[in-house]
Amino acid sequence: MVQAYEPAPLEFFRPATLEDLDRITALEAAGYPPDEAASRERLEYRLKHAGAQFLAAVCPAAAAEDGRLEVIGFVCGTLSCADKLTEESMGAHEPEGDLLAIHSVCVDAAHRRGGVASRLLRAYLSYVQGTTPGLREVRLICKERLIPLYAGVGFQMVGPSDVVHGKDPWFEMRWALGGEEQEEEQEEQRQGGGEEQG
């Protein structure tokens, strides 16, 4: 009997740098409505000050004309000393903070719905554990329709967010580091397709 063949994903992940700023700004502007997209200056601030929490997905199949590999997605965040996400706690990077607030998860429209964001987020969660000593928790806010994306990589629902940003309500989700219980829950979610959303 012929076995079903699943090709390996073509993208891989690397830290984002200031050289990626133009491309990342373009992806952000294309991915979010104008009242939600971070400005070039905000993205530059994050690359400069929170570069250890900024990961890019690059794809050999999307090689640019100059031969560089094209960035097809990215995820970035900043550290905070706060316990939950507010406009204030997401506004600046506090290097000594143990809460990582994800600000943006963005994939080029041409590469969506192929699992890039899910693989990028899994890589990110592993990456920031290495780059961020003392990291306790990763949180993000998302719109209702994207809850399954984050639940699928192990985030749990906290509840409706206090943050007002654009016209739709936001939900806060968290991913806590360590603990056998957390690992078991994440494994259950992976096997069960992430239907448990807190």
List interacting residues with ligand COA (CB under 6 A).
31-32, 105-107, 112-118, 142, 145-146, 148-149, 152
**Separation CA 62–CA 160 (nearest Å):** 37
Measured from the CB atom, the residue of 104 and 132 that comes closer to ligand COA is 104
Shortest distance (Å) from residue 150 CB to ligand COA: 8
**Separation CA 130–CA 153 (nearest Å):** 18
Measured from the CB atom, the residue of 73 and 97 that comes closer to ligand COA is 73
Q: Which residues of 123-134 are buried (b: 16+ CB within 10 A; e: fewer)?
A: bbbebbeeebee
Q: How many other C-beta atoms can be found within 10 angstroms of the C-beta atom of residue 10?
A: 14
Beta strands per DSSP E along 97-136: 99-107
Measured from the CB atom, the residue of 99 and 107 that comes closer to ligand COA is 107
Measured from the CB atom, the residue of 50 and 111 that comes closer to ligand COA is 111
Shortest distance (Å) from residue 9 CB to ligand COA: 10
Collapsed DSSP state (helix, strand, coil) of residue 117? helix
Shortest distance (Å) from residue 129 CB to ligand COA: 20
Shortest distance (Å) from residue 165 CB to ligand COA: 10
Beta strands per DSSP E along 23-149: 54-59, 70-80, 99-107, 137-142
Contact of 108 with 72, CB cutoff 8 Å: yes
Measured from the CB atom, the residue of 31 and 97 that comes closer to ligand COA is 31
- End-to-end alpha-carbon separation of the chain, Å? 41
